[in-house]
Amino acid sequence: MTLQEYDYARESPSKLAASCLLLALTMKNLGGWTPTLEYYSGYSARDLHPLVKRLNFLLTYQPRDKLNAVRSKYSHRVFFEVAKVTPMDMLKLEETLTSC
């Protein structure tokens, strides 16, 4: 989704990927940002918090008329129906991020 948003073009791809991973881990309650993830990514969880919040905002307020083919594809069970996952509540995300 970020490929079509100009605001994300200035972010480094590694930071964007790490933020996406942290958001996914948080959304699925799979744990937080571990020391191993910090070591190999080069980013602390605190470094990623602002971008994670922006990504969740993008998921929450995405226009429904764009990317219909992509949404349809990733709504299939072969892709674990990831397009159907609901974004986190912004306040809950804030609480979760501050605790890690």
pLDDT value at residue 64:
65
Question: Under a CB-based contact definition with an 8 Å cutoff, are residues 55 and 23 in contact?
Answer: yes
pLDDT of 51: 97
Enumerate the H helices of 1-100 as residue ranges. 13-27, 35-41, 45-60, 68-73, 90-99
What is the residue-averaged pLDDT of the chain? 89
List pLDDT tens digits, range 41-81.
Answer: 999 999 999 999 999 998 888 766 666 787 788 889 998 88
pLDDT tens digits, residue range 12-22? Answer: 999 999 999 99
Q: How many domains does the chain have?
A: 1
CATH number (domain holding residue 50) = 1.10.472.10
* Residue-number span of the structural domain to which 66 is assigned: 2-99
Q: Please say whether the dihedral angle defined by the alpha carbons of residues 37, 41, 47 and 49, taken in this order, is positive or negative.
A: negative
Question: Which pTM value belongs to this model?
Answer: 0.83
The pLDDT-based confidence of 25 (bands split at 50, 70, 90) is very high
